[in-house]
Amino acid sequence: MEITFLLIVEIIGTLAFAISGIRLAALKKFDWFGAFIVGLVTAIGGGTIRDLFLSTTPFWMLSYWYLIVTAMALGLVILFKRYLVRLDHTFFIFDTIGLALFVVIGMQKSLDFGFPMWVAIIMGTITGAFGGVLRDILINEEPLIFRKEVYATACLAGGLSYWLISHLGGSIVVQQISCAAIIIIVRVLSVIYNWSLPTLGNDNKDYTNQ
């Protein structure tokens, strides 16, 4: 039963990530194929980088439902484009839940492969946040997470709570739930209170020398 619940959450997260990519592709006037690829890369890109780093076969090559969910996301955007615009808050919730789950999955997989906790935290953050980086590279924009919102920081905070609970002797389920909860809380609070990280530099000197 828990597996079924996790699967539903993973589908919702994949759908939310894919829709976020497809909506940005729509702004760039990509065709359906391009929008599908951008949606797919947003949804599975982070986990693909993680799996390449873990020297294992990318997860989406073992089950075709990631493709099907992305195709469903494309269909939804094509059919309900106007209405989807008004659902920003709904998508934000799905996207945040998906993010939390992706980080937990990425951390768990890295630990299962025998890597230490600090590698697992990085892999969790990559799983959650780097699909969006690949998306921004594909649509030729500066990666959003490098300039806006406490997105990757939420992943890191969740990862650190996973570590902390593990040190305190909590069970794996408690570690995972606390990790996911911290990510959701930090991300929601950061949007409500408009938190952001300090930025670097505001002078116009040309530092380029490499």
For 111-130, letters b (16+ CB in 10 Å) and e give beeebebebbbbbbbbbbbb
| CB within 8 Å of 165: residues ≥ 6 apart | 174, 175, 178, 179
- Closest to 99 (Cα-Cα) out of 161, 42, 155: 155
Site residues for its own copies, 53-72, by CB under 8 A, read: 53-58, 61, 64, 67
186 and 158 Cβ atoms separated by less than 8 Å? yes
Answer yes or no whether residue 13 interacts with its own copies by CB under 8 A.
no
Q: Which of 152, 182, 183, 186 binds its own copies (CB under 8 A)?
A: 152
Is there a contact between 41 and 21 (Cβ–Cβ < 8 Å)?
yes
Q: Which two tokens stand for residue 208?
A: 């380029």
Cα three-residue angle 1-16-62, rounded to 5 degrees: 60
Q: What is the distance between the alpha carbons of residues 143 and 145, in angstroms, rounded to a whole number?
A: 6
Asked if residue 107 binds its own copies (CB under 8 A), the reply is no
Binding its own copies (rule: CB under 8 A), the pick from 1, 29, 169, 192 is 29
Contact stretch for its own copies (CB under 8 A) within 4-12, 114-122, 159-167, 175-183: 114-122
Q: Is 139 in the site for its own copies (CB under 8 A)?
A: yes
Asked whether the beta carbons of 125 and 170 are under 8 A apart, the reply is: no
Candidates 71, 76, 93, 119: give the one binding its own copies (CB under 8 A).
119
Q: Is 77 in the site for its own copies (CB under 8 A)?
A: yes
Q: Does 20 bind its own copies (CB under 8 A)?
A: yes
**# of chain residues touching its own copies (CB under 8 A):** 70
* Tokens found for residue 46: 């982070």
Q: Tell me if 2 contacts its own copies by CB under 8 A.
A: no
Nearest approach in angstroms of CB 95 to its own copies is: 6
> Which positions touch its own copies (CB under 8 A)?
20, 22-35, 37-38, 48, 52-58, 61, 64, 67, 77-78, 81, 85, 88, 91-92, 95, 115, 118-119, 122, 132-133, 137-148, 151-153, 196-202, 205-210
